[in-house]
Amino acid sequence: MDGVYFSEPRLLFLIPIIAAAGLLSLRWNRNRLLVVSRIVVFSLLVAALANPYVTVTETIQTKQPLITVVSDLTASTEIFDRGAAERIHAVLPDSTLRTFSGRSTPLGDKILQYSHQGDALLLVTDGYSNSGRDVGEALALARAANTTVFALEMEPIREDRSVEISGTNTAVLGGDYPFTVIVRSSGGDFDGLLTVRADDTVIYQDRISGSERSTSLRISHRFHTTGTHILEATISFPRDWNRENDRYQKAVYVVPKPEVLLVADGESPLSRVLSEHYRLTTTEEFRPEDLDPGGRRYKAVILDNRKYLPELSALLEYVREGGGLVVVGGDEAYDFGGYRNSSLEEILPVKSVPSIFEGGKTTVIVMDVSGSSRAEMIVGRATYLDYQKALAIELLRAPEFRDDRVALVVFGTDAFVVLSPTTIAGREVMIRDRISSLSPEAGVQEESQMDTGLALAWDILNSTRGEGEVVVISDGKIWEYPEVFSESERMIRDMEATVHLVEVKAFESAPGSFRDLAAQSGAEYHSAVYPGSVTIRVGERPDLEEIPEDDEIPAAGYSLMILNPDHYITADLAVSANATGFNDVTPKDGSQRLVAMLDGKPILTTWRFGLGRVAAFTTDSGVAWAPEVYSADNSKLVSRTVNWAVGDPRPEFGRIDAQDGWEGTPVEIIITSATPPVVGLSEVDKVGENRYRSVFTPERQGIYTIGDYGIAVNYPLEFRDVGFNPDFYRLIMTGGGKVLTEEEAARSLVEEARKSSEITVQQRLSRQMPLLFAALAVFLAEVMVRRLREVKR
C-alpha cells in the first residue's frame, strides 16, 4: 500500500480559508467550543469531498478457469489431424469447443471473439491468418483482458506445396523483366518439376528441390510486344495433397520504351547501354525547351560529364514536378565542372566538395561470454551465445551502420577487447568471422564483469572522435551481483553515448534485470526473444560469407562495393568493377549512398527531390575512368539507375494500378485519369485529383481485364502458406502463453491456465467514510457538551 492520494486535491485549498474564517469569528463569538468544532467539522467534510484514497496491490487468480478449445477447420488445415481438438476437449473438464471453417482464416478475429476475463484459449490451428485483425495485435488485446492463449503443437500428416510469382506488374518493351518464383512446402524434403511459361511458351523447366520450408528461383524474361502478357508457373510433385495451389498466373503490363534524353559530347558508352532499354535522344547541347515541361516528354535526363551552365537551372522545376535526373561525372563535372553552390547542385544528393570519410560514428558491441551463455535455450538447441552472435551479425548488416566503425568487447569473469574500432565497409567478412569465433568461458562463472566491459567501451569511445553508441548483448542475469549492477548503472548514466541493452531470452517472461537497469540508468532496453528474426543452426557459424579466391583488388584502380543491397538499384546485384578516377563529393543529409569505394568515397548516391528522383554517379561514363562499369553484367548498375530515375514508365493519365488477386479476396484498382473512368467490375470512387479507386471481390480464378490492362486472380489466399506457421510459436510465447503437445495439453493445461490467469492489479480504496464519521462524531460531541452545559445552568 502506498500513501494517501486525493481525486480532487484542489478542494483542500478551502481548509485554510475555513480555518481563517473561524479564527476571525472568535472575536465576536464567545462560544469557542462551537467555533472550533465547526472548523473541524467543515474541514473534515471538505477533505471527504476531495475523495481521499489509497492504492492497494492485489493478486487475482482464477481458481477454475474456463478453457475454450478453438479448432481451425478451414481448408488449409486438411493436411493436419483434425481430430486433435475434439480429443483434448473430451478430457478437459469444463471446457468448450468452438470451430470455424471456410476458405479464409480470420484467426485474429476468433481470438478476440472467444477471449474472456481470466479464461484461457487453446488454439488448434496452422497459425496462418489471412483476413481480419492481425494475430499479434489480437494476442496483445487478449493478454490485456487477462486471457491466456495457448497453442497446440501440430505436424502435418500430409504433404502440400504451393507456388507463387513475385515481381512488378509493369515491364518495358524489350527490356529485362526479372521476377521470382517461390515454392513453399509444408515441411520435409521435396523434389518436383517446375515449369514457367510466358504467353504459353515454356521459358524455364527443371527440377526443383530442397529441405527448407520454401525455396525461390530468380528468372528474367523479355517481352517483345506491348499490352498484357501472362506469366504462369506450375509445379508437379509425386505427393501433393492440394493441387489447386500448384498453378500461379501473373499479369504483366508491357509499355513502350520510355523516352530519355542524353546530353553528351560525341559518342558516349552510355548511349550503347541505354539505347537497348529506352527510346534514347542524344544531344550535345542542353536546351530548356527540349524538356517539354507541360507533357514531360522525357521521363529522365542524363547529363554525361557536363560543365555547369545557367541553362541547366531549368532542371530544377523539371525534377520537382516528377522528372528523373542522372548526372554522370568525369573531368568536367561536379568538383571539376563548377557545380558548387549552383542551381544544379541544389537538385543533386551530393555537394561538390571533397568528402572526409572517417567511418561515421563508433559503435562498441559488448557481448556476454560468461559461463551462463553456454546454456541451451528452451526452444531449439541453440545456446544463448549462439543467438547473441547471430544478433550482433544481423545488427551490423543494417544499412544505418554501414558508415560506422565497430569495436567488440566481451566480458565474463574478466573483460577484454576483441576488436579495435574498424570500419565496417569492406571488412564485413573479417568482422563477422571475429564475432562468430567467440566461445563461452570454461568452468563455472564466479561473477559477471559487465561493468568492466562497459569501462573498456567507455575508454574506446573516449579515444575516438565524434559520436558513439554502445550495444550490450547479454542474457541480463546480473541481479546476483548488486555491486556490478550498481557500477554498471553509474557508468551508463555518466557515459556520453547512447547505450542499448539487448536482453536475450528464450521467451518474453524469462527473468532478467536489463529492464530495471535501463529504467534506472536511462539506457534503451530491447528484448530479443528467440528465435526472433534470426535462425541459427547449431554447429555452424551463422551468417558467414566465404571470400572467393579470385576476389582480389587489382593493383590498378579503386574497387567498388555495394553499400545498400536493399535498394531497388542494387538488389540482387553484384558489382565486380574498378574505377581509376572519381569526382570527390560529399553526400547530403537525407541521401543514400548505394555504391562506394573501399574507403567510403561515394560513387552512386540517390535521393528524392520534390516529386522527382535524382542519382549522382561520380565516376565517368567509361571513356577514361570506369570502362569496367559499362561492360557485361556491371552495366546493369547503369540501366537500373536510369530505370529508378524514370520511375513509372507509363503516361501520366490513363494509368491503371492493380496487384494480382486471390479468389475471394478484395482487389483494389487505382486509376489515374483526367475524366471519370468506367470499370465494369465494380463502382468507381474519386479519391483525389485525377485519381479514382475501385474495389471488387473476384469469385473465380482467371484473367480479368480493364481495357487492355489485365489482372490475374489465383487460388484462394488460404492455400498460399502451407504447413505450420514457424512464427506462430513466438507470437504465442510473446503473449504469455505456451505451445503444448497433445499429451501435455490433456495432462497439464488446466494447471497452466490457472497459473497464467494470475495477475497483479492495483485497486483504489476510498477513505471518505472515516472522515465523514469523524465529522459526525465531532458534531455530536459538541452538541452533547453544549446540551450538558445548558442542563447544568
Q: What is the CATH number of the domain that holds 520?
A: 3.40.50.410
219 and 342 both lie in a single domain: no
186 and 314 both lie in a single domain: no
**Total domain count, the chain:** 6
pLDDT at residue number 68: 93
171 and 149 both lie in a single domain: no
Question: Hey, how many other C-beta atoms are within 10 angstroms of the C-beta on 770?
Answer: 12
407 and 472 both lie in a single domain: yes
Q: Write the pLDDT tens digit of every residue in 230-252.
A: 999 999 998 899 999 999 999 99
Q: How far apart are CA 331 and CA 224, in angstroms?
A: 39
242 and 268 both lie in a single domain: no
Q: Are 542 and 531 in contact (CB under 8 A)?
A: no
Q: Are 177 and 222 in contact (CB under 8 A)?
A: yes
Which of the 8 DSSP states describes residue 726?
A: T
Question: Hey, how many other C-beta atoms are within 10 angstroms of the C-beta on 152?
Answer: 22
Q: How far apart are CA 235 and CA 233, in angstroms?
A: 7
Boundaries of domain holding 707: 655-719
Residue where one domain finishes, among candidates 237, 255, 273: 255
- Whether residue 371 lies inside any domain: the answer is no
Q: Count the alpha carbons within 13 Å of 111 in the hemisphere toward its beta carbon.
A: 36
Strand order in 685-688's β-sheet? Answer: 655-658, 667-672, 691-696, 685-688
- Whether residue 337 lies inside any domain: the answer is yes
Kindly give, in sequence order, each residue whose CB lies less than 8 Å from that of residue 389, ignoring residues fewer than 6 positions away: 367, 435, 436, 438, 542
Indicate the pairing of strand 161-166 with strand 759-766.
Answer: unpaired
- Whether residue 79 lies inside any domain: the answer is yes
Q: Looking up cell 536493399, which residue turns up?
A: 566
Single-letter amino acid, residue 235: I
199 and 294 both lie in a single domain: no
pLDDT at residue number 346: 94
Q: Show the beta-strand stretches assigned E in 424-476.
A: 468-474
pLDDT at residue number 61: 59
Grid coordinates of 355: 568528402
- Whether residue 309 lies inside any domain: the answer is yes
- Whether residue 77 lies inside any domain: the answer is yes
Residue where one domain finishes, among candidates 646, 668, 684: 646
Q: Show the beta-strand stretches assigned E in 425-557.
A: 468-474, 498-505, 524-529
Grid coordinates of 100: 470455424
Q: Is the pLDDT of residue 543 over 60?
A: no
Q: Give mean pLDDT, residues 100-110.
A: 94
Q: Are 101 and 699 in contact (CB under 8 A)?
A: no
Report residue 554's pLDDT band, with 50, 70 and 90 as the boundaries. very low
Q: Show the beta-strand stretches assigned E in 292-375.
A: 300-304, 324-328, 350-351, 362-368
188 and 237 both lie in a single domain: yes
493 and 553 both lie in a single domain: no
Report residue 541's pLDDT band, with 50, 70 and 90 as the boundaries. very low
Q: Give mean pLDDT, residues 362-378.
A: 78
Q: How far apart are CA 555 and CA 304, in angstroms?
A: 28
Q: Is 32 exposed, middle or buried (0-12, 13-18, 19+ CB in 10 A)?
A: exposed
Q: How far apart are CA 743 and CA 740, in angstroms?
A: 8
Grid coordinates of 256: 513502350
Indicate the pairing of strand 120-124 with strand 201-210.
Answer: unpaired
Tell me: cis bond preceding 531? Omega within 30 of 0 counts.
Answer: yes
Q: Give mean pLDDT, residues 432-451.
A: 70
pLDDT at residue number 551: 37
295 and 177 both lie in a single domain: no
Average pLDDT, the chain: 84
Q: Give mean pLDDT, residues 351-361.
A: 70
Report residue 329's pLDDT band, with 50, 70 and 90 as the boundaries. very high
Q: Write the pLDDT tens digit of every residue in 649-701.
A: 887 777 888 999 999 999 999 998 888 888 888 889 998 888 899 999 999 99
Q: Is the pLDDT of residue 359 over 70?
A: no
Smallest CA-to-CA distance from 55 within 759, 761, 764, 760 is with 764
Q: Write the pLDDT tens digit of every residue in 200-211.
A: 999 999 999 888
Q: What is the CATH number of the domain that holds 310?
A: 3.40.50.880
- Whether residue 132 lies inside any domain: the answer is yes
Residue where one domain finishes, among candidates 697, 719, 741: 719
Q: Is the pLDDT of residue 358 over 70?
A: no
- Whether residue 115 lies inside any domain: the answer is yes
pLDDT at residue number 767: 86
715 and 728 both lie in a single domain: no
Report residue 479's pLDDT band, with 50, 70 and 90 as the boundaries. low
525 and 389 both lie in a single domain: yes
pLDDT at residue number 26: 76
271 and 228 both lie in a single domain: no
Grid coordinates of 602: 561515394
pLDDT at residue number 759: 59
Q: What is the CATH number of the domain that holds 243?
A: 2.60.40.10
- Whether residue 368 lies inside any domain: the answer is no
Measure the CA dihedral 341/342/344/345, to 10°: -10
